[in-house]
Amino acid sequence: MRLADVQFSSRENAVVARLSGEIDLSNAQHISAALLEATPNTSLALVLDLTDVTYLDSAGIQMIYRLREGVRARAQTLRLVVPADSPTNDTLRLAGVAQHVQTIGTVDEALSELT
């Protein structure tokens, strides 16, 4: 098993990418490249589900910013699914960026917001 893995599923107008494992300097760039690659132009949004991510650091935060810019350039939106009691939420809080990064608790909520 790799340090992190990603599973894609297509929904109406959106791609849901479910990340699992650990995201750090060793894989953050590869993952953001893979995610942008897998999001077709026809999609309205990329829903990034970080529920199963067990570790994410500043390289992961940078990945989120990079993704946000990437989808924005294609007039798409990025929705981040980050449960309140997750390691990812801790990192966002400790880095002091929680107020700049909009997150949502579940994939269903993220998808219903899009319609």
Partner 1 sequence: METESLGREPQRREPRAGQTVLAPAAAELAPSGQVGSLHRLSDPALSELGLEDFLDELLVRVRDALAVDTVAILLLDEESQQLVARAAKGVEEEVEQEVRIPIGQGFAGRIAAERVAIFIADVDHADILNPILREKGIRSLLGVPLIVEGDLIGVLHVGSLKPRTFGERDLALLQVAAARAAPGIERARLFSALEHEHRVAMALQRSLLPKQLPDIVGVEAAARYLPASDEVGGDWYDVFELGRGRVGIAIGDVVGHGVGAAALMGQLRTALHAFASEGHGPGRTLELVDRYVNTMPQYAMATASYCVLEPETGVLRVASAGHMPPIIVANGSTRVVSIEPAPPLGAFPYASSQETETSLRSGEILVLYTDGLVERRRISLSDSIEALLAAVSGATSAERACQLAFENMVGLESLRDDVAIVALKNCEVPELLELRLLAEPRVLADIRRMLRRWLRARGAGDQETSDMTLAVSEACANAIEHAYSPAPAKFNLRASAQAREVTIVVSDAGDWRSPRGQDRGRGLAIIDTVMDEVQVSSSELGTEVSMRRTLGR
Tell me: does residue 24 bind partner 1 (CB under 8 A): yes
Tell me: does residue 84 bind partner 1 (CB under 8 A): no
Q: What is the DSSP string of 41-58?
A: TT-SEEEEEEEEEEEE-H
Residue from the set 62, 70, 83, 105 that interacts with partner 1 by CB under 8 A:
62
CB of 2 to partner 1, least distance (A): 6
Tell me: does residue 3 bind partner 1 (CB under 8 A): yes
Residue from the set 61, 78, 81, 104 that interacts with partner 1 by CB under 8 A:
61
The values of phi and psi at residue 77, to 5°, are -120, 155
User: Residue 9 or residue 94: which is nearer to partner 1 going by CB?
Assistant: 94
Site string for partner 1, 28-47 (x = CB under 8 A): --------------------
In angstroms, the CA 67 to CA 56 distance is 15
HSE-up (13 A, CA, CB side) for residue 21: 14
SS percent in the chain: helix, strand, coil, step 5:
35, 30, 30
The values of phi and psi at residue 86, to 5°, are -100, 155
Tell me: does residue 22 bind partner 1 (CB under 8 A): yes
Which parts of this chain interact with partner 1 (CB under 8 A)? Answer: 1-3, 21-22, 24-26, 54-55, 57-59, 61-62, 87, 90-91, 94-97
